[in-house]
Amino acid sequence: MDKIDEIVEKRKIAHAKLIDLNSKVYKAFLEMEKVAFSDGALPKKVKELIAVGISIVVNCESCIQWHIEQASKANAIKAEVLEAIEVGIEMGGGPATVSARFALDVWERIFPH
């Protein structure tokens, strides 16, 4: 199991635990996420691309993986995701290039061609 698979698996396990524990805070977070990423003045795809850039800046590998995957599911193309990664690099400077390395691994897995 590689790092990306491990992150996905850990997220699924934590999600199930928090649901089983009937976490009110986690349920509220899931509802907020649903509303925040629904189509509005900005379509879901654009919101996911924004989240990719933010994830790079805050160095959240789980967030990077999730939002690249969600951007892909929202019909973002490979070039759009790359540009979102590049915006994250610009906004975060040198340290963001470290997060971008992981993002590029996810990007290549989700967009192999």
Q: What is the pLDDT of residues 63-88, one digit of tens each?
A: 999 999 999 999 999 999 999 999 99
Residue 12 is encoded by which pair of tokens?
């699924």
Q: For position 102, which CATH number holds?
A: 1.20.1290.10
Return d(Cα 17, Cα 90) in angstroms, integer.
36
Phi, psi of 43 (to 5 degrees): -70, 160
Asked whether the predicted pLDDT for residue 1 surpasses 90, the reply is no
* Position 52, amino acid: V
| Distance of alpha carbon 20 from alpha carbon 11, whole angstroms | 14
Question: pLDDT, tens digit, for every residue of 37-67?
Answer: 999 999 999 999 999 999 999 999 999 999 9
Q: Structurally, how many domains does the chain consist of?
A: 1
Global pTM reads: 0.93
Domain that includes residue 21, residue range: 3-110
